[in-house]
């Protein structure tokens, strides 16, 4: 029942030590290994991680990091029959692994078990909005993805081909869930805490711009491209509510562009554009009970909608291929 815990890192010097210590505590009495899978940190992340009894691996400099490449990097160096995936800015609950392992042992067709991700960042609009949002992915019981990580059964992952698609800059957990469910496996969320997550303590709009530059916002387009023609395509279309939202955003943007040309007076069209935009922001503000959150939600919609086609037409590498990397520190 030993566990390989994969810690994904990229410039996590402030949190990685505490993250590793939380995993070491959780593995007492269970056994296993810790793999720090680094995407190319330029701070002291590697030096701090190397102080602990862990395996540290890092992408070769020529390989660009992505949300999907980190988990697969750790997975290709892992050895144990169970895989626990988490970020380098998370603290693993000390009692999660025994309960999750027991659940998998009692439910042989369940591929993965997770719990609640407790967000510790209460200052950024992004994380405040995330905490208020009602989403099927946060429910307990049967779920379609394990956002934030959790404990996976290696045999199920190997049947699905690979842990994480290296081409994806987002939605990599949903992609894995699709591939597992297409092969008859299921996922489960326990009604208990899995990790505490500290997130990015920066301005939400700065985080949005960072995600645009890093390619993170292209994830949904890359996900669609990855599933095109595959058995999971139909299930993806049915299970991803964001697609309806982006379709609505595209219709809104088309209307915004067309109105100044369709009406007798361009000024009238621009005025209607302003009214329409104000109405959308107002409706979201009422829903979020906050003008700042409502405005941020609408701006985020536009960024995501603009990034979707960029991701869809992005070239792909074989997701199951070996990821060029080096071992910075191995277990003795």
This prediction's pTM: 0.89
Tens of pLDDT along the chain (332 residues) come to 899 999 999 999 999 999 999 999 999 999 999 999 999 999 999 999 999 999 999 999 989 899 999 999 999 999 999 999 999 999 999 999 999 999 999 999 999 999 999 988 766 555 555 555 545 557 899 999 999 999 999 999 999 999 999 999 999 999 999 999 999 999 999 999 999 998 766 778 888 998 999 899 999 999 999 999 998 898 899 888 888 888 999 999 999 999 999 888 899 999 999 999 999 999 999 988 889 889 999 999 999 999 999 999 999 999 999 999 999 999 86
Q: Are 166 and 115 in contact (CB under 8 A)?
A: no
- SS3 state of residue 120: coil
Q: Quick one: fold of 3-202?
A: Spore Coat Polysaccharide Biosynthesis Protein SpsA; Chain A (3.90.550)
Give domain limits for the chain: 3-202
DSSP string for 196-265: EE----S-HHHHHHHHHHHTGGGHHHHHHHHHTTSTTHHHHHHH-THHHHHHHHHHHHHHHHHHHHHSS-
d(CA 228, CA 233): 6
């Amino acid at each position: 029942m030993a566990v390989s815990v994969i810690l994904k890192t990229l410039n996590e010097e402030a949190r990685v030590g505490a993250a590793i210590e939380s995993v070491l505590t959780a593995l007492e009495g269970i056994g296993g290994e810790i793999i720090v899978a680094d995407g190319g940190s330029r701070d002291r992340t590697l030096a701090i991680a190397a102080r602990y009894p862990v395996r540290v691996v890092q992408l070769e400099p020529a390989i660009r990091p992505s949300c999907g490449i980190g988990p697969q990097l750790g997975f290709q160096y892992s050895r144990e029959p169970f895989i626990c995936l988490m970020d380098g800015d998370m603290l693993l609950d000390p009692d999660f692994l025994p309960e999750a392992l027991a659940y998998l042992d009692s439910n042989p067709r369940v591929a993965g078990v997770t719990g609640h991700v407790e967000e510790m960042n209460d200052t950024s609009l992004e994380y405040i909005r995330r905490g208020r949002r009602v989403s099927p992915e946060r429910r307990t019981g049967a779920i379609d993805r394990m956002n934030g990580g959790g404990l996976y059964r290696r045999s199920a992952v190997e049947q699905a081909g690979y842990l994480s698609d290296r081409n994806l800059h987002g939605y990599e957990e949903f992609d894995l869930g699709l591939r597992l469910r297409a092969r008859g496996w299921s996922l489960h969320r326990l009604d208990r805490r899995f990790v505490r997550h500290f997130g990015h303590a920066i301005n939400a709009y700065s985080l949005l711009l960072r995600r645009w530059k890093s390619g993170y916002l292209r994830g949904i387009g890359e996900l669609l491209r990855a599933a095109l023609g595959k058995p999971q395509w139909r299930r993806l279309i049915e299970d991803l509510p964001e697609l309806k939202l982006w379709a609505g955003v595209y219709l809104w943007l088309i209307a915004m562009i067309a109105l100044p040309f369709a009406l007798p007076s361009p000024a009238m069209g621009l005025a209607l554009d302003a009214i329409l935009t104000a109405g959308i922001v107002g409706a979201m503000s009422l829903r979020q009970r906050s003008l700042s959150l409502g405005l941020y939600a609408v701006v985020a919609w536009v960024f995501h909608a603009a990034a979707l086609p960029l991701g869809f037409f992005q070239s792909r590498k074989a997701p199951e291929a070996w990821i060029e990397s080096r071992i910075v520190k191995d277990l003795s």
